[in-house]
Structures are given as C-alpha cells and as structure tokens.
Amino acid sequence: MVGVKSEQDQKLDLSGARVLLVEDEYYIADDLRRTLAGAGATVVGPAPSLSRAQDLLDEGNFDCAVIDLNLQGESAVPIADRLMEEKRSFAIATGYGSGAVPDRLRGVPRIEKPFDPPALLRLVGQLSCAKAAHS
C-alpha cells in the first residue's frame, strides 16, 4: 500500500537528520538520495566532486555523512580526514572492498556497493545523526 510504512520501516525513521552525501555516480547518488529522503532525512548534496564536497563541508549544515572515497578518479580521503578531525560521524560507501580503505579509516562504518537500502538506513541510523533526528 503506497504511503503506509511497515513496522520495520517506521523503525528506520530519520526525520530531522541532515545527511551529507558525497557520491560521483549519478544513479547511485540518486538512489541514495531517494532512500534517505524516503526515511525522512534531508540530503545535503549529493556532492559529485572533491571541490563540491569541500564546499558543503565548509558550510557544515549536516549531522553526518556518507562518502564515496573515489570521486571521478580523485581520492575523497581528505574529506574523511577532515570529518574525523571535526569528530563528525560518517560512513564510507565503496565498491572496492576494504582494500581500498586506508588503515586509518578501517574503523569507520562502511557499506559496500551495490547498496541494500534497509542496510543503508540502519547504518545511517547508527551514526550520531540519528540522535539529531530524534532530539
């Protein structure tokens, strides 16, 4: 039934959360945006390039982030490093497995491409942005 959330979907309510999305692949970014927005989150971005991601990071208008580490052939590790320095919650989205993640980022939550929408929502819900959504 359209417009009616199942009991499980209701548990994945991200209303009030502002999620920075850093992803260069248009269709993946759109799927992520739709999934997050469908759970009530406000999506900041998506940022398809390192420079756009840095601009959105400078604005700081988000609670947590989901970032792809490879943006049009550029490494987004500087974005991850800055998020860590600022003690902001984030997850890494990757299609390359754990071998593509630098050692210093191994403890960061990660989701593998292709995404399972409920798994993505659960992951984002575990980040501190979920606290912002329910404060």
Does residue 55 surpass a pLDDT of 60? yes
What is the mean predicted confidence (pLDDT) over 34-40?
Answer: 94
Query: Which pLDDT value is given to residue 131?
Result: 57
Query: Which pLDDT value is given to residue 123?
Result: 92
| Phi-psi group of 72: left, alpha or beta (phi > 0 → left; psi -120 to 50 → alpha; rest → beta) | left
- For the stretch 3-20, pLDDT in tens is 434 444 446 789 989 999
Query: Which pLDDT value is given to residue 98?
Result: 57
Residue that wins the pLDDT comparison between 130 and 126: 126
Q: What is the mean pLDDT of the chain?
A: 85
Measured between alpha carbons, how far apart are the two ends of the chain, in Å?
30
Query: Which pLDDT value is given to residue 44?
Result: 96
Does residue 25 surpass a pLDDT of 60? yes
- Amino acid (one-letter) located at 82: R
What count of Cα atoms within 13 Å lies in the side-chain half-sphere of residue 100? 18
* Residues 118 and 5: beta-carbon distance below 8 Å: no
Does residue 34 surpass a pLDDT of 80? yes
Query: Which pLDDT value is given to residue 9?
Result: 45
- For the stretch 68-112, pLDDT in tens is 998 988 999 999 999 999 999 999 988 766 566 888 888 899 988
Does residue 23 surpass a pLDDT of 50? yes
